[in-house]
Amino acid sequence: MSSFLRTVSAGAAALMSAAVLLSAPVEAQNAIDIVGTWSSGAGNVVTGLQFFNPTNNSFIPPKTAGRSYSFSSDGHWEQAIFQYIPNPAKPQCVEAQLIWQHGTFTRNANGSLSLTPFPGDGHQQIKAQCGTISQFVQYYEEPELISKWSTSLVRHYGSPAYALQLYAFDGTPVPVLYQVYNPPQMLPTQQLHQQIIGKPYKK
């Protein structure tokens, strides 16, 4: 009888341990933390000086489109995006958009991330293929809520790599990012420009 009770107790303990594991937060299953520089696809778009030069507010267009995020251990983030904007009315008139911004991020209790840009630092450039070719660089500021995120170890171009899956505020997954640097490659994690309200910006 004593042996039977010990067997039952051991089985109950195993079930309880399994229940605890199943109820653990999703973040506990992540391969690594979000800290680092992450880039989509071939990794041609990367945060830092090779994408945006804050001394003259100029972009360095990468070879291919993509996006990159960097997160530091002390709560700073940086974003670099190079994407094409289609024109359904004129398919041959595709526009290229380059976006750069940085700031601070907060890890919320529900596992989401709140990304807050530094005022006056973010910039974007639209390059039009048709009509007047625009080289105009203007301010850009867009806070972002990442509803959830996860990291995993995968194979990328035949080699092991850490992957980061971000989800937008509405739960929509964004393109998978792969870690390219850790520690992250970032521009100075402080406000670089003074924001002047109501005054037009000229490069």
The model's pLDDT over 93-108, given as tens digits with 9 standing for 90+, comes to 888 999 999 999 999 9
What's the distance, CA 121 to chain centroid?
Answer: 17
The model's pLDDT over 157-196, given as tens digits with 9 standing for 90+, comes to 999 999 999 999 999 999 999 999 999 999 999 999 876 6
From residue 188, how far is each of 55, 64, 80, 124 by CA, in Å?
12, 25, 14, 18
